[in-house]
Amino acid sequence: MEIKATRTLVKSASELWELADDPARMEAWAKSLVQTQTPLEIVVTERKPGRRLTWRACAGGGSAEIAVALAEKGFGTAVEITARRPSAGPTASDALERLLDELGSPDRRPFFAG
C-alpha cells in the first residue's frame, strides 16, 4: 500500500536535504513507519542531491520503502514523502505527518543571554 504526505516548509532544500540524507534518521523514520524497535537494514535506492532520496528498510518484522522529494516553492520547499509497505493503517499516515513535523521544526533555539 502507498501513502503520501505533502507540506511546504519554510526551510531551504539544502537544509532539508541535510536532515533527510542521514542514515540514523532514515532508520528512525522507517522504524516509525513499520512500527518496530529492532534494527533495520537501510539501502538507499535513489539519491539526487537536493531533490530526491529513496531508501528501503528491511527487517524480520517488516519492510518499507520511503521517498522524500524536495522542490523549491516560494519562500520555502515543497516536501512530499511517499511510503510503500505491505499494509498501511491510520498509524502510517500519522507517522508521515510526524516526519514532516520533524523536518519543519527549528533546528536550533535562539541564543538567550540571561
CATH assignment of the domain containing 57: 3.30.530.20
pLDDT at 35: 78
The continuous run of DSSP H or E covering 112 comes out as none
8-state DSSP, 42: E
pLDDT at 107: 63
94 near 102, Cβ under 8 Å?
no
Domain contains 109 = no
pLDDT at 38: 84
Q: In what order do the strands lie in the sheet with 2-9?
A: 2-9, 76-84, 62-73, 52-59, 41-48
At 88, the pLDDT band (50, 70, 90 cuts) reads low
Residue 101 has pLDDT above 60, yes or no: yes
Measured between alpha carbons, how far is 85 from 78 in angstroms, rounded to an integer? 23
> Mean pLDDT throughout 95-104?
81
Residue 85's CB: how many other CB atoms inside 10 A?
A: 20
Q: What is the pTM of this model?
A: 0.80
Domain contains 11 = yes
Place of cell 528498510: 57
Q: What is the dihedral of CA 27, 95, 54, 14, to 10 degrees?
A: -90
Tally of domains in the chain: 1
Residue 62 has pLDDT above 80, yes or no: no
> Mean pLDDT throughout 50-72?
87
Domain contains 95 = yes
Domain contains 35 = yes
Domain contains 86 = yes
Domain contains 110 = no
Residue 113 has pLDDT above 50, yes or no: no
Q: Which domain, by its residues, includes 44?
A: 2-103
